[in-house]
Structure 1
């Protein structure tokens, strides 16, 4: 029979980095936390923490043990939540963040549809292009676009986006159409937040530094500049696809189109994905796909 003594105390200390904070979380004394951890280390014959007067650090063995313990506790919490929420309508607060333009145009209408289905939910949504800290700011979910950098977050791919390099027919008539990546040097490239554009060449990803006299941190503004013949832009499909279909923008460098990027739902690794958040993630994936 597995001995559970000390496991919840160990996980609490590992996640908070403090015996005192862990005791407050568990609503027990610091001395009890310390006793349980010491007993657990003795039973395992393994040191789980490095302790100083100012800091508590998880050992390498402790990290391995924590991952397994967290999975087990998550499974137990999942079982309890499943039972208690089986017959319940999702309710409570959902705090979400998403990129500004994509959030306003694509995510907000879907969130409103979701709230219409489940009116007992309280929605708190913030649109920003800044990478906010989900844990520190209490977010349940974040929508992110493109390549993911933060490996400490769990991610579910909701959909894909495609990047297009395009210009107006008038611009191409006046300046010619580029057929090689090297020819971008001869064109006015409408720049966004990055100084380079992503391409595929010879089956490999390649970043090409571009330059031009217009710089916006707004996809809509770049789209407007391209439509008015001011240069070439590389923009996601949701900005330019309808203009390409209408012929008001022309796609170029099609042989070098980069691989599709992900549209992601992110949530903290150590925060259980509650049923209401899971339902929202599934709903967004279904609608965005």
Structure 2
């Protein structure tokens, strides 16, 4: 099977248009169309349904596109390993983690990484959905639970707990609760128990909801919860790791917290030895060690 035709087919299937694929491939629409027709003739099948709004893959086209996607991922991995054979740390690295951890803990520390490796380009993908690392949806993941896939290299970074925080200004204006029953006089800022989040956090929120609450503000990620707390809107359910970077926040009801949540760094086995991943992993581990030391010296 002609590799060049497969490359063109993959671009057309991905773009859903001969014109858009041609722009990506720097080929004319007619040249792309000829290659697709030639591929269909060689396979004796129709790969696309053609209509006014673009192209839709046939069942046979879906099968071929699935194969070319796997080929593309494998080629990208091979290219990454070839580039990583160099001593210098450079190029693109796709890192996925949760919105809360990525925006509150990781992002503020990235200037140190860029200072050390100025030619490293991070694509930071912050979302609650767990991306498929073996399928190369990302290169590295930091997850709030141990990855279940066997073909991943993983390292446990630390454990976190969900706790209650408020600003001094909010406490001065509204008082500080001494018991859980005192929450009836306050606004609780948290994620909905139905939102995607660590199970320990959802469990803590359910326990708090069992008490009579004055008011609530629901946000679908911890970064939003933090912004509500910093705006003096109420008492927030937040991960304990923010206390180092936001030392002015006051912990409320210190006896109330969630169970431990493990934080893991993981990447595909095939990328073991990648200079970019090694550099990122070592940087994160160093920052975690510094974070732990600071927590021991200044416990909340």
Using the size of structure 1 for normalisation, the TM-score is 0.59
Instruction: Quote the residue 1:219 is aligned against.
Output: 226
Superposed CA offset, 1:182-222 (max 9, x none):
x96x4523325x46685339xxx899596527899451662
Name the residue aligned to 2:180: 177
1:106-255 residue pairs with structure 2 within 5 A?
Answer: 106-108=105-107, 110-119=109-118, 121=119, 141-144=123-126, 147-148=128-129, 154-155=137-138, 156-160=140-144, 161-165=160-164, 171-173=176-178, 176-178=179-181, 186-191=184-189, 194=191, 198-200=201-203, 208=209, 212=215, 217=224, 219=226, 222=229, 232-240=235-243, 249-252=252-255, 254=257
Rounded to whole Å, the distance in 1 between the matches of 2:264 and 2:214 is: 27
CA–CA distance in structure 1, aligned partners of residues 31 and 95 of structure 2: 37
Contact kept in structure 1, 2:18 and 2:29, CA below 8 Å: yes
Q: Which residue of 1 aligns with 2:33?
A: 34
Secondary structure at 2:215 match in 1: coil
Distance change in 2, residues 1:26/1:260 (3 Å)? same
Structural RMSD (CA): 5.0
Query: Partner of 1:6: helix, strand, or coil?
Result: helix
C-alpha distance in 1 between matches for 2:228 and 2:203: 26
Structure 1 residues 32, 279: closer, same or farther in 2, change over 3 A? Answer: farther
Structure 1 residues 49 and 163: alpha-carbon distance in aligned structure 2, compared to 1, 3 A threshold? farther
Aligned partners of 1:159 and 1:288 also within 8 Å:
no
For residues 17 and 259 of structure 1, do their structure 2 counterparts lie closer, same or farther at Cα, with a shift above 3 Å needed? farther
Give the structure 2 partner of residue 271 of structure 1: none
Q: 1:264 to 1:14 in 2, by over 3 A?
A: farther
Structure 1 residue runs of 5 or longer lacking an equivalent are 124-139, 266-274
Partner of 2:261: 260
The equivalent of 1:269 in structure 2 is none
Q: CA deviation at 1:41?
A: 2.3
Equivalent position of 1:270 in the other structure: none
Distance 2:68 2:217 in 1: 53
In the alignment, the residues of structure 1 paired with residue 246 and residue 79 of structure 2 have an alpha-carbon distance, to the nearest angstrom, of 50
Alignment gaps of 5+ in structure 2? 145-159, 195-200, 267-273, 289-300
Cα 1:261–1:67 change in 2 (3 A) is farther
Give distance in 1, aligned partners of 2:26 and 2:275. Answer: 27
Once the two structures are TM-superposed, the CA of residue 10 in structure 1 deviates from its matched residue by: 0.6
Structure 2 matches for 1:59-138, cutoff 5 A? 59-91=58-90, 106-108=105-107, 110-119=109-118, 121=119
The separation in 2 between residues aligned to 1:58 and 1:206, in whole angstroms, is 49
Q: TM-score, normalised by structure 2?
A: 0.57
Query: What's the CA shift for 1:107?
Result: 2.7
Partner of 2:46: 47
Within 2, Cα distance between the matches of 1:45 and 1:285? 52
